[in-house]
Amino acid sequence: MSAVTKDRFRPVKSILVSQPAPSGANSPYVQLAEKYNLKIDFRQFIRVEPVPSKEFRKQKIDILKHTAVIFTSRNAIDHFFAICKDFKIEMPADMKYFCISDQTAHYLQKYIVIRKRKLFVGHRTAQDLFDYFKKHKSEKYLFPCSDIRKDDIPDYMDKNGISFTEAIIYHTLAADLSDLADVKYDILAFFSPSGIKSLKVNFPEFTQGNTRIAAFGPTTAQAVRDLDLILDIEAPMPNAPSMTGALELYIKKVNSL
């Protein structure tokens, strides 16, 4: 085994997760830290800014001309209803909502009484919603999203001739990570291409060295490879559907060598 290969299998003692810290002691990250005596820190690598009302108006989107709304994140929900409030728009009772996951659907309750609405919920990915879109092909869909988003939903709608309007309601920007310049972690865990982009924006001279990189989802994994970085941990996997599961499999392996 070469020296470079050996470095990639050093024991893991610290992890930086590029997301906000989870709430509650039952988080799988807390359990992982306790089980393997790890230091796990959390830091949001991206920040979002709402699109000003004046900028949104330039998109010439009539929200109430749509019969269904697609939500893929909590940010989308917050900023969408903020715009509705600014324009004094009340969502009609017969509006349909298509949410990417149970967590997103649950968060929607912050703004509407969902038991009285028509709600369609995926498991975790946009692909989970495609069958719903196909069954409800006659709807006029509105997709509130960031200026940086995946192409899967727009591509599917275009390919299948489904009426669809993309509404840019917030911007995704790199967070200021300058305080981390001299801090080293054994693993950096990423969940979106935006997080990878933020790493390079903040640290244009970043060299990976012994740092292992974990990525959740194929687009995040590709963003790592596009920067010629080594991807050590890729999730989800058949035997590890979560990031914590994939991290644990890797830690079990390298910490026992």
Check: CB of residue 153 under 8 Å from CB of residue 179. Answer: no
* Neighbour-count burial for 140-174, b at 16+ CB within 10 Å, e otherwise: ebbbbbbebbbeebeebbeeeebebbbbbbbebbb
CA dist., res. 137 & res. 6, Å (int) = 53
Check: CB of residue 198 under 8 Å from CB of residue 45. Answer: yes
Q: 5: pLDDT confidence band, cut at 50, 70 and 90?
A: low
How many CA atoms are closer than 13 Å to the CA of 149, on its beta-carbon side?
22
Sign of CA dihedral 25, 26, 32, 36: positive
Residues paired with 119 in a beta bridge: 97
Record the pTM.
0.77
Q: Is the peptide bond prior to 236 cis by the omega test (within 30 degrees of 0)? A: yes
Tens-place pLDDT, residues 159-184: 999 999 999 999 999 999 999 988 89
CA angle, 190 as apex, 187 and 191 as ends, to 5°? 150
Amino acid letter at 32?
L
- In the block, tokens 């909590």 appear at 74
Q: 114: pLDDT confidence band, cut at 50, 70 and 90?
A: confident
Q: Which two tokens stand for residue 129?
A: 């919603």
Identify the three-state secondary structure at position 120: strand
What average pLDDT does the chain have? 91
Please give the pLDDT value at position 64: 97
Q: Can you give the C-alpha Rg of the chain in angstroms?
A: 20
CA angle, 128 as apex, 123 and 129 as ends, to 5°? 115
Percent of the chain at pLDDT > 90 equals 75
Q: Which two tokens stand for residue 179?
A: 């305080």
Q: Is the pLDDT of residue 144 over 90?
A: yes
Tens-place pLDDT, residues 243-254: 999 999 999 999
CA dist., res. 164 & res. 153, Å (int) = 10
Amino acid letter at 246?
A
Identify the three-state secondary structure at position 235: strand
CA dist., res. 257 & res. 251, Å (int) = 10
